[in-house]
Amino acid sequence: MVTILGIETSCDETAAAVVSDGREVHSSVVSSQVDLHARFGGVVPEVASRAHVELISTVIAEALVEAGVDFGDLDAVAACNGPGLAGALLVGVSAAKAIALTAGIPYVAVNHLEAHLYAAWLEEPELELPMAVLIVSGGHTMIVIMEDHGRYRIVGETVDDAAGEAFDKVARFLGLGYPGGPIIDRMSSEGNAAAIAFPRPMLHDGLDFSFSGLKTAVISEVRRRPDLDVADIAASFQEAVVDVLVAKLVTAADEAGARTLVIGGGVSANHRLRTRVLDAGTETGRRVFLPPLALCTDNGAMIAATAWWQMRANGPSPLGGGAYPGLRLPVVG
Ligand code: KG4
Ligand code: ZN
């Protein structure tokens, strides 16, 4: 059994988890800084870095205690080294390297996007490759064809806002709070998704996405009809986003001959998206992997799980590596 401590500090969650063999989660501690950033309506990088510094030791200690292990029981320590906020990433990377040196164990640097992709496997390790993966978070929206471990092709990306960003911006405009995704998700269950026919941007136009026009459409519709029910706006907006995400994921799977659909990233916690991807799987005879709800948004378990696969394929990472805010998904071809 290989037991790994995974550390995630790329944005506004300080997280650590202990995971064995890429799927047995012994602990997963996430300390969200949402309250610190809410009054600014978004993540403030310097505030995030400082909060990570204050929280990191406690979060790691909690993850170890909850798992009933200490540093001596770990086989490796992993941290997210990008993409993300520079100062925030450095806190996790530095902590992981310090542990690696003092405990005499290997250090593994993990790509945040790859980690979101592996979150679905924490529950289901039987994969049928190639898989079509939709990564939808606050910072990214992309469709990836995974041909093998570490072998990815990006076939679609957003040309402007990320899906999570669109949720957050629309919620902010509607005065609903931050982060907007979970709030719109909740409100939508009481609204009518067919109430307002918002545009489905680029629906039949390749595999790239665009969400900034949809956000503008919501704003102008609300200004034009101030009496609209907020739950109806939320549900109609969410339906437009989900329609586009699911349609393009299925098209990408068709084109790549992928028999498996996977989603990951914060927006993969969205209930409507989960239902619709499951439906799409049933309709097109494909298997669907959804990460457990708690592992959709940023967490340390996905880092530890990815590190396990990565260690098997490539071994540990050099301690000389740094933090890379603009890190891309490693692609082939
Ligand atoms: O993956 P994540 O925790 O951080 C990034 O890597 O960006 O994703 C955060 C994003 C936020 O934009 C948040 O509003 C969105 O995921 N999100 C959701 C839901 N839960 C989180 N969006 C829609 N529905 C949800 N239930
Ligand atoms: Zn993320």
Q: Enumerate the domain spans of the chain.
A: 3-116+295-314, 128-294
Number of C-beta neighbours around residue 193 at 10 A: 18
Whether the CB of 33 sits within 6 Å of ligand 1: no
Domain 128-294 in CATH 3.40.50.720: no
Strand pairing category for 13-20 and 24-32: antiparallel
Q: Enter the tokens of residue 200.
A: 């489905």
Give the ligand whose atoms come closest to the C-alpha of residue 137.
1
Mutating to test ligand 1, I would choose from 245, 263, 297 the residue with most ligand atoms within 8 A of its C-beta, which is 297
pLDDT at residue 33 in the model: 85
Lookup: tokens for 81: 């080294």
Q: Which of 180, 172, 165, 224 is nearest to 198 (CA)?
A: 224
Q: Is there a shared CATH topology between the 3-116+295-314 domain and the 128-294 domain?
A: yes
What is the C-alpha separation between 221 and 219, in angstroms, rounded? 6
pTM over 0.75: yes
pLDDT the model gives residue 287: 94
Of how many residues is the chain composed?
333
Amino acid 333: pLDDT: 65
Does ligand 1 lie within 6 Å of residue 7's CB atom? no
The reported pLDDT for the residue numbered 43 is 87
Going from the Cα of 266 to the center of ligand 2, the distance in angstroms, rounded, reads 6
- Which residues have a beta carbon within 5 Å of ligand 2, which is an ion? 137, 298
Token reading at 105: 């164990």
Cβ–Cβ < 8 Å for 137, 265:
yes
Q: Which two tokens stand for residue 36?
A: 């610190």
Residue 85 CA to ligand 1 centre (angstroms): 16
Cross-strand partners of 131: 146, 260
What residue ranges of the chain have pLDDT lower than 70? Answer: 333
Fold classified for 3-116+295-314: Nucleotidyltransferase; domain 5 (3.30.420)
Contact 193, 236 (CB under 8 A): yes
Residue from 31, 111, 133, 167 whose mutation best tests the ligand 1 pocket (most atoms within 8 A of CB): 167
Closest ligand relative to 163 C-alpha: 1
* Residue 25: both structure tokens together: 């989660």
